Every structure is written in structure tokens, then in C-alpha cells.
Amino acid sequence: MEPIIQVILSFAAVAIFIALIIILNFRKQGTQKALIWVMTIIFGILMTVIVVLDGIEIFPFRLGDYQSPGFDLEFGSWHVGLILGLPALISLSIGTILVLYDEAKYVMWHGFAAGGSLIVTIINVILLIFLTPPEILNYSGMIHTLHIFLGAFGLATGVASFFFGASGQRNIARMTGYFTLAGWWGAFLLGLLLELPIPPVY
């Protein structure tokens, strides 16, 4: 997928997701169900298109020989947003939509989705240990630094939200959960900027 197309689709998905969160927070209970489902389906379609089209481009590189001619170092590590980071983000986003839609009915599924996203993110962080020197150099720069900061911030607030939720502090858990969403979506969008044909910022 062309980077600019991915950026446009991703920002459109973020805009729909933010609007959806606002509607879910301020609607009267049991109202606007049709609008919520339509927006959720559109959000899901956009994210599916991003994952599928990018996956078609990335996975052949994964299966190829690391030393083969033409191998792109950008795809040299499994620490890539599409493979681990984006699924974790989608899982957390879906879990958030479900619990805001009907907390009593979907709170368990929210726990599974949010907990799964934390586990996948921790694995993604651990994979940073196995980066080679060329990959570390490829991941340097100011944008990557901000990406790392937002990702780490989201992970910290996500763990905090998990413990607050488990202890029954629902309001604090919700607030820290929103911080996690903001951090991870911000990290994802910054990662997209690295794919655009613009001079790197150091």
C-alpha cells in the first residue's frame, strides 16, 4: 500500500474512532444504536484494509532470506507496528467500544481484549532486545523517540488501568485507559510518518 494512502485511511479511522468514543460517552443509554454500529463497522473495515493490504507487502519479506539481495532492513525485525503493535491497538479499541456500549454485558470481553493487547505489547517491547545494529540505526531519530515515548507511556497507563479496574476503581481505570489509547494511537500515527517520503527529523 502506498504510504500516503495508509496515512489517509489511518487518520480517517482515528477520526471515526474518536467520534464513536464521544457518542458512546455522551449518549443516553440505549439510544443511537444504529449510528454506533454503522460507525463501528466502518472503523473495522478501514482497519482491516490497512492490515490486509500491508500484510500482503510485509509477510513475503519476513519469509525470505535475511541475507538475500534486495532485503529491506525496514522489515528486518518482527518489532513492526502491523504485526504486533497494530493488532494490540485494534484489540484495545474494540474492547473499549464494547465496554462503553454495554458495560454490564461486555465487561468480560473488554478484559480479554485489553489484557490481550497488553500481553502482545509486552512481547513487542521484548523483541526490541533482538534488534541488530543496522535495525537500531534504522529506528533512530526524533520521530522514533516520540514513538517510543508514547508507546511506553501507553503501556504504563495500560498496566495501571488493568490494576485499577481489577480493584474496582472504574473511573480511574477508564481515565488511564483513555491515556493508553491516546498514547498507542499517537505512536501508531507517528510510525506512519516514518513511511512518508519526507526528510527525517533528527
Tell me whether residue 198 is in a domain. Answer: no
Tell me whether residue 16 is in a domain. Answer: yes
Tell me whether residue 201 is in a domain. Answer: no
Per-residue pLDDT of the chain (202 residues; tens, 9 = 90+): 566 777 788 889 999 999 999 999 888 776 788 889 899 999 989 888 877 766 544 444 444 444 455 445 444 454 556 677 888 889 999 999 999 998 889 999 999 999 999 999 998 888 777 776 766 666 667 878 888 899 999 999 999 999 999 888 989 999 999 999 999 999 888 877 766 655 554 4
The domain of 61 spans 3-193
The beta-carbon contacts of 43-46 under 8 Å, at least 24 apart in sequence, are 43/13, 43/16, 43/17, 43/93, 46/9, 46/10, 46/12, 46/13, 46/16
Tell me whether residue 199 is in a domain. Answer: no
Question: What cell numbers appear for 162 in the block?
Answer: 488493568
Q: Where are the alpha helices (DSSP H) in 64-197?
A: 86-101, 103-126, 133-138, 142-166, 170-193
| pTM for the structure as a whole | 0.79
Q: pLDDT value at position 66?
A: 45
How many structural domains comprise the chain? 1
